[in-house]
């Protein structure tokens, strides 16, 4: 295979001391947290003043865009230590929560201090920009650890580099993932080239930098828009509807004696659909309907094998069995349509976790109850078949029939009834009680944290929805054709020529679809924002047309309408700026709440005033200040670690100010 260098931009953050930052954060967190706390205790006002806020101020002052990534890497490491170090399990869990809390606060400050298009671009760089955990490490250490993980050698694009968003998903940082920039990534307003583990049809000749997408400067037939998460979601729903329609046509006109054109079209299209689900397996397993899709793929595989066997042997019985097996797909496909249309309904969100718990508990119960089956089989001495005994046990388990208890004397006059009654108590009473309690606990836990669960699912679909594999640009069943025709070309053509062939094929096969996407995005992707709104992260205007239509019929429509239009400049000038006086009121109330006698006046600068989520003032009380100084002496003593670079030496490293580029990106071939 001919190889060539990828056309990719230079990394603007290649000089950041990521390796040193990771170990510095680990040392600070271990020194700050040595007792177990809950997330509510970490948010306590005293804990916020003495521990959380000083570290947030310290890390944010560095203006390091890799800081969030380093915090999440430490969270993932503390979670691993929580599983391996039993004597510090609760403390490691608290340290992991602490890292997530600080990362969330720092990301929020970046959002508050950087608004508009450039602020959206900065947040995107923080979340989806790739960083190497060994960046800035000594060369000897890098050479020693270069062969430890074979997975890093298979990643395409930037080797070793993973984004903070992926680390947050791996560590299940559900508090951190409630960020608005994910919507911009899902809608395709921010574009980037993701890394991938394995590519079936690799096309990485061009690496796109993180940039804002301008549809008016991009070509109308832009093949990269086919892998945008929101577009992919719409296409997947449309593909499933086509599959369902073909399935219904085949089953309505089912005839094992003939093999019609509709059934042939169904087989070809379903093969392409299964291939698409298999390639996107990482994101597919996170979907709520994954178990339904896997079940239908299995049913279709059995049907196809029986159908081919019937055609090869010219026998009618395998064809009838094939159609009977395919009929079992109806209970799987029909409910999945509801999962697609109401994927964020709490019932469906909790159903996935409840199905997992139910499956695990059922498998364990069957494993344990297998001992009862063996005992009864041996006691019967061949008088009853194991299938018959299993049927009696199943009826007793579900409470349908008591035949098993009546016939238990056939096994043994004493031991048989004892075994069957014990099984009835354990299976029908104890097992069902445990099952109901477990499912109720799972449902209540998910409902109590519904917003975080939904945001976590959105983050997973956003990250995995941006596909770097070129096969995702081909719709079923054309992906099968691309798999067999283009895969051999990867070993013959150079990366540049393979990129040209792939782009041409994608644009020809998806020309009508690309035209529709281009027209729609030019009209709706970047709407004109009114004055005072932040570009890219403006307030939600979803379903605006429906709201405008119904506003006139609502008695409370004027309450929302008054906030839809920004006030005029004359009105804004008349409203006094009372932030300073408000700070004094909040400060006095907070000091009274803590029981302090007095507090120093806040020193206010000319810059932006920041109100913390707990204490909205600038200075601390005497007791709090002494505790902070004592903690900082432990953290930042005279014996500073060599891992942390000197401020003078780190002056030239890349920071958020390096992200000075155009807010748009013109996409070419």
Residues 250 and 329 in one domain: yes
Answer for the pair 157, 468: CB distance below 8 angstroms, yes or no: yes
Q: Is residue 475 part of a domain?
A: no
Nearest to 216 by CA among 635, 595, 518: 518
- Tell me, what's the pLDDT at 468? 59
Task: Supply the range of the domain harboring residue 351.
Answer: 346-460
DSSP 213: B
* Orientation of helix 544-551 relative to helix 557-564, angle to 10°: 130
Answer for the pair 376, 411: CB distance below 8 angstroms, yes or no: yes
- What per-residue string of b and e applies to 517-528 under the rule 16 or more CB within 10 Å gives b? bbeebeeebbee
- Count the alpha carbons within 13 Å of 57 in the hemisphere toward its beta carbon: 13
The rounded distance, in Å, linking the Cα atoms of 46 and 378 is 67
* Token pair of 57 as six digits: 């101020």
Number of neighbours of residue 602 by Cβ within 10 angstroms: 14
**9 SS3 class:** coil
306, 340, 374 — which closes off a domain? 340
* Orientation of helix 511-524 relative to helix 495-509, angle to 10°: 80
CA distances from 287 to 368, 450, 459, 652 (A): 31, 16, 12, 44
Q: What is the pLDDT of residues 627-666, one digit of tens each?
A: 776 776 676 654 455 444 444 344 444 444 444 444 444 4
Residues 265 and 250 in one domain: yes
Residues 320 and 374 in one domain: no
Answer for the pair 188, 225: CB distance below 8 angstroms, yes or no: yes
Residues 299 and 396 in one domain: no
Answer for the pair 645, 20: CB distance below 8 angstroms, yes or no: yes
Residues 258 and 300 in one domain: yes
The rounded distance, in Å, linking the Cα atoms of 212 and 192 is 9
Which residue ranges of the chain lie beneath pLDDT 50?
1-6, 150-159, 284, 528-544, 546-547, 578-583, 585-587, 590, 594, 597-607, 609, 611-619, 638-639, 642-667
- Tell me, what's the pLDDT at 559? 59
Q: Is residue 365 part of a domain?
A: yes
The rounded distance, in Å, linking the Cα atoms of 254 and 248 is 10
- Tell me, what's the pLDDT at 9? 57
Q: Is residue 236 part of a domain?
A: yes
Q: Is residue 399 part of a domain?
A: yes
Q: What is the pLDDT of residues 550-592, one digit of tens each?
A: 555 555 555 556 656 666 666 656 655 544 444 454 445 545 5
- Tell me, what's the pLDDT at 22? 93
Residues 301 and 379 in one domain: no
- Tell me, what's the pLDDT at 189? 85
308, 340, 372 — which closes off a domain? 340
- Tell me, what's the pLDDT at 663? 45
CA-based torsion, 378, 380, 385, 386: positive or negative: negative
DSSP 353: H
Residues 313 and 379 in one domain: no
Nearest to 594 by CA among 570, 571, 615: 615
Q: Is residue 422 part of a domain?
A: yes
Name residue, tokens 């344990």: 368
Q: Is residue 285 part of a domain?
A: yes
Q: What is the number of structural domains in the chain?
A: 2
The rounded distance, in Å, linking the Cα atoms of 93 and 81 is 9
421, 443, 460 — which closes off a domain? 460
Answer for the pair 125, 197: CB distance below 8 angstroms, yes or no: no
Residues 291 and 318 in one domain: yes
The rounded distance, in Å, linking the Cα atoms of 326 and 247 is 9
As beta bridge partners, residue 545 has none
Q: Tell whether pTM > 0.75.
A: no
Q: Is residue 331 part of a domain?
A: yes
- Tell me, what's the pLDDT at 563? 57
- Tell me, what's the pLDDT at 175? 82
Residues 279 and 355 in one domain: no
Q: Is residue 292 part of a domain?
A: yes
CA distances from 422 to 368, 393, 413, 417, 419 (A): 13, 11, 15, 8, 5
- Tell me, what's the pLDDT at 620? 52
- Count the alpha carbons within 13 Å of 529 in the hemisphere toward its beta carbon: 15
Residues 283 and 298 in one domain: yes
Residues 326 and 410 in one domain: no
Residues 335 and 361 in one domain: no
């Amino acid at each position: 295979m001919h190889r060539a260098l990828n056309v990719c931009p230079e990394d603007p953050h290649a000089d950041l001391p990521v390796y040193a930052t990771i170990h510095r954060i680990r040392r600070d967190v271990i020194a700050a947290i040595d007792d177990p706390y809950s997330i509510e205790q970490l948010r306590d006002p005293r804990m916020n003043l003495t521990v959380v806020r000083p570290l947030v101020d310290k890390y944010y002052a560095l203006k390091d865009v890799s800081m969030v990534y380093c915090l999440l890497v430490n969270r993932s490491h503390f979670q691993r230590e929580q599983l391996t170090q039993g004597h510090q399990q609760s403390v490691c869990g608290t340290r992991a929560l602490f890292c997530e809390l600080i990362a969330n606060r720092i990301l929020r400050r970046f959002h508050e201090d950087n608004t508009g298009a450039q602020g959206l671009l900065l947040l995107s760089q923080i979340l989806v920009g790739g960083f190497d955990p060994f960046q800035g490490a000594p060369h000897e250490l890098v050479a020693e650890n270069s062969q430890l993980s074979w997975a890093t050698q298979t990643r395409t694009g930037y080797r070793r580099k993973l984004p903070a968003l992926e680390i947050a998903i791996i560590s299940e940082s559900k508090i951190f993932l409630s960020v608005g920039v994910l919507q911009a990534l899902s809608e395709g307003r921010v574009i980037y080239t993701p890394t991938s583990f394995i590519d079936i049809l690799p096309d990485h000749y061009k690496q796109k930098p993180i940039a804002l997408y301008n549809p008016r400067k991009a070509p109308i037939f832009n093949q990269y828009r086919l892998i945008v998460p929101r577009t992919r979601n719409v296409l997947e729903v449309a593909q499933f509807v086509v599959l369902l329609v073909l399935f219904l046509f085949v089953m309505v006109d089912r005839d094992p004696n003939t093999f019609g054109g509709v059934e042939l079209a169904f087989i070809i299209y379903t093969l392409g659909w299964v291939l698409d689900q298999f390639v996107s397996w990482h994101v597919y397993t996170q979907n709520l309907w994954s178990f339904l899709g896997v079940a239908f793929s299995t049913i279709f595989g059995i049907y196809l094998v029986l159908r081919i066997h019937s055609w090869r042997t010219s026998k009618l019985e395998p064809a009838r069995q094939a159609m009977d097996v395919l009929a079992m797909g109806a209970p799987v496909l029909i409910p999945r349509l509801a999962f697609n249309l109401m994927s964020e309904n709490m019932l469906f969100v909790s159903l996935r976790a409840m199905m997992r718990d139910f499956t695990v508990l059922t498998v364990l119960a069957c494993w344990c109850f297998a001992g009862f089956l063996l005992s009864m089989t041996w006691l019967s001495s061949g008088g009853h078949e194991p299938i018959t005994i299993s049927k009696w046990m199943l009826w007793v388990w579900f409470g349908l029939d008591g035949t098993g208890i009546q016939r238990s004397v056939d096994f043994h006059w004493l031991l048989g009834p004892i075994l069957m009654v014990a099984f009835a108590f354990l299976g029908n009473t104890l097992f069902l009680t445990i099952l109901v309690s477990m499912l109720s606990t799972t449902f209540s836990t998910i409902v109590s944290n519904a917003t975080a669960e939904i945001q976590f699912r959105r983050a997973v679909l956003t990250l995995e929805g941006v596909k770097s594999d070129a096969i995702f640009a081909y719709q079923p069943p054309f992906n099968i054709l691309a798999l067999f025709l283009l895969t051999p070309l990867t070993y013959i053509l150079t990366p540049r020529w393979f990129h040209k062939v792939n782009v041409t094929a994608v644009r020809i096969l998806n020309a009508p679809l690309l035209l529709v996407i281009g027209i729609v995005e030019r009209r709706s992707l970047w709407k004109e924002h009114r004055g005072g709104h932040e570009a890219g992260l403006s307030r939600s205007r979803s379903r605006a047309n429906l709201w405008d239509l119904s506003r006139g019929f609502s008695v409370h429509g004027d309450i929302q309408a008054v906030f839809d239009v920004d006030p005029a400049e004359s009105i804004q000038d008349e409203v006094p700026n009372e932030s300073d006086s408000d700070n004094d009121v909040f400060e006095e109330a907070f000091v009274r709440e803590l029981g302090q006698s007095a507090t120093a006046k806040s020193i206010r600068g000319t810059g932006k005033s920041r109100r913390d989520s707990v204490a909205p003032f600038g200075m601390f009380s005497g007791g709090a200040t002494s505790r902070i100084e004592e903690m900082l002496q432990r953290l930042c003593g005279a014996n500073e670690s060599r891992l942390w670079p000197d401020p003078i030496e780190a002056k030239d490293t890349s920071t958020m100010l390096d992200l000075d580029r155009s807010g748009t990106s013109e996409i070419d071939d």
